[in-house]
């Protein structure tokens, strides 16, 4: 499949990983928008929030467990955001569901 995040998960494309387990991987965004900008990505290829259903939603809950751990580890518990863009109008560029963990600076309302 021609999916950049599937290729990162399989190791075909290198990434700067901060966390990995059997269900998810987390790595630093190539173009960071904040001092801490990590992408938390389920290993299963789900296209977006629109592809989440009762068969795969457990991995999304797991993403938030990992987000909580990483927020502590990366020192952003004073304020951070977990964001998933869905569809063109929201600016989704990679069609494999992923969660931006952003922190380390004051975050504005429109980002
Ligand atoms: P989206 O715009 O779909 O919400 O987020 C995609 C994110 O993936 C962008 O912030 C972009 O910088 C990041 N990204 C795209 N390709 C790569 C890559 O090959 N490696 C890494 N580490 N990040 C990537
Ligand atoms: Zn994929």
In a domain, 111, yes or no: no
Three-state secondary-structure class, residue 102 = strand
Q: From 22, 2, 24, select the one nearest 13 (Cα to Cα).
A: 2
Tens place of pLDDT per residue across the chain (111 aa): 799 999 999 999 999 999 999 999 999 999 999 999 999 999 999 999 999 999 999 999 999 999 999 999 999 999 999 999 999 999 999 999 999 999 999 999 876
Tell me, letter by letter, the H, E, C secondary structure of 75-97: CCCCCEEEECCCCHHHCCCCCCC
In a domain, 59, yes or no: yes
- CA 28 to ligand 1: nearest atom: 22
13 C-alpha to center of ligand 2: Å?
12
Structure tokens belonging to residue 103: 């922190």
Domain range enclosing 92: 4-103
Three-state secondary-structure class, residue 19 = strand
- CA 27 to ligand 1: nearest atom: 22
In a domain, 34, yes or no: yes
In a domain, 30, yes or no: yes
Q: What is the CATH number of the domain that holds 94?
A: 3.30.428.10
Q: What are the pocket residues of ligand 1 if the criterion is a CB atom closer than 6 Å to any ligand atom?
A: 4, 13, 15, 27-31, 39, 85, 91-94
Query: What DSSP designation does 30 have?
Result: S
Q: What is the pLDDT of residue 1?
A: 74
CA–CA gap between residue 110 and residue 28 (Å, rounded): 22
Q: What is the pLDDT of residue 110?
A: 77
In a domain, 108, yes or no: no
In a domain, 89, yes or no: yes
Cβ neighbours around 65 below 10 Å, total? 13
CA–CA gap between residue 110 and residue 5 (Å, rounded): 26
In a domain, 86, yes or no: yes
In a domain, 109, yes or no: no
When divided into structural domains, the chain yields a total of 1
78 C-alpha to center of ligand 2: Å?
32
pTM: 0.98
Q: Which residues are catalytic?
A: 98
């Amino acid at each position: 499949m021609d999916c950049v995040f599937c290729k990162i998960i399989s190791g075909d494309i290198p990434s700067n990983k901060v966390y990995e387990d059997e269900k998810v991987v987390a790595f630093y965004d190539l173009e960071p928008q904040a001092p801490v900008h990590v992408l938390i990505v389920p290993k299963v290829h789900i296209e977006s929030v629109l592809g989440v259903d009762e068969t795969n939603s457990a991995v999304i809950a797991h993403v938030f467990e990992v987000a909580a751990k990483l927020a502590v580890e990366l020192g952003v518990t004073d304020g951070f955001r977990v964001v998933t863009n869905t569809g063109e109008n929201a600016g989704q560029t990679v069609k494999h569901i992923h969660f931006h963990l952003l922190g380390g600076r004051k975050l504005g309302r429109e980002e």
